[in-house]
Amino acid sequence: MKNFILTVILAFFTHAFYAQNAFDKFDGQDDVTSVIVNKKMFDIMSKVKVDASDKETQQYMNLIKKLDNLKVFTTKNPKIEADMKLSADKYIRTASLEELMRINDSGKNVKIYVKSGASDTKIKELFMFIDGAKNEDTVLLSLTGNFDLNEISVLTDKMQLPGGSDLKKASKGKK
């Protein structure tokens, strides 16, 4: 029985660490633009004094308090794009993500997945992969925390995230 419990605990921790490190290999690579924002930075950002009369800014400040980690990797390098696609496909299969939506537009394929929280609109992780069309970036995005999907459009406006327009569609699509 002890061995079984140890195995289950080890499997859980291995999966949790894999989720955090699955895409770190792209950080610092030539031809890859990466943006990584950790919990500490979100905490600092949430303490900035803002104009309380601006509703959208207030919503943004409330949202960033709920975020833990943001990782965005973009590239136009075909070899790295292929590696990103393989990594994304493997992560989607192993991370218990559910598909939120899929868009195919003029050769650009967008896949958006979520790991649900306590309710239908509460999200623990939002994962997006954009398989870039000709001369467009391939984008891999992972956002973790405990937030509401309906708040994402505020984040995409304020942080100008790659694929933001696709994320806006997702946040409007699932209510």
Give the model confidence (pLDDT) of 31-73 as tens digits. Answer: 888 888 888 888 888 787 766 677 777 777 788 888 899 898 9
CA-CA-CA-CA torsion sign (135, 33, 23, 94):
negative
Among 128, 136, 90, 91, CA closest to 111: 128
**The model scores a pTM over 0.85:** no
Q: What's the burial of 69, exposed, middle or buried (CB within 10 Å: 0-12/13-18/19+)?
A: middle
Measured distance CA(26)–CA(33) in Å, rounded: 9
Place of tokens 């949430």: 46
**pLDDT of 2:** 42
Low-confidence stretches of the chain (pLDDT beneath 50) = 1-19, 174-175
Cα–chain-centroid distance for residue 127? 4
Cα–chain-centroid distance for residue 15? 17
**pLDDT of 60:** 77
**pLDDT of 91:** 93
Q: What is the pLDDT of residues 55-65, one digit of tens each?
A: 777 777 788 88
